[in-house]
Structure 1
Amino acid sequence: MDQLLAMRSFARVVEAGGFTRAADSLDMPVATVSKHVQELESHLGVRLLQRTTRKVTVTPEGQDYYAKCTRVLRDLEDIDASFRGARGKPRGHLRVDVGGSTARDVLIPLLPGFMALYPDIRMDLGVSDRSVDLIGDNVDCVIRGGPLNSSSLVARRLGEATLITCATPGYLKQYGTPAHPEELRNGHRLVSYVSSQNGRAVPFRFEREGERTELKIEYRVGVNESNAHLAACLAGLGIVQTFAYAAEADLRAGNLQEILAPWRPAPYPFHVVYPQSRHLTHRLRAFIDWLVMVFPAAIARGHE
Structure 2
Amino acid sequence: MEQNQGIGALTMSANEKANHFEQSRTRLLGLSYRILGSVADAEDAVQDTYLKWARQDPNKIDNSEAWLTRVCTRHCLDIMRSSHKSRVDYIGTWLPEPIQTSTNCEFSDNTELACSLTTAFLLMLERLTPKERAAYLLREIFDTPYEQIAETLKLQEANCRKLVSRAKLNIDKDKVRNTTPLTAQKQFLNAFQSAVTDGNTEPLMHLLSDDVRLDADGGGKVATIKKSLNGKAAVMEFLGRNLHQYWANHDWQSLDINGSRGIVISLENVTTAIVSFSFDSRQRVTGIYIMRNPEKMNLLSKAPIH
TM-score interval w.r.t. the shorter chain? under 0.3
Compare CA radii of gyration and give the structure with the larger one. 1
Larger strand fraction of residues: 1
Larger helix fraction of residues: 2
Compute the TM-score of the two structures, normalised by the length of structure 1: 0.24
Compute the TM-score of the two structures, normalised by the length of structure 2: 0.23
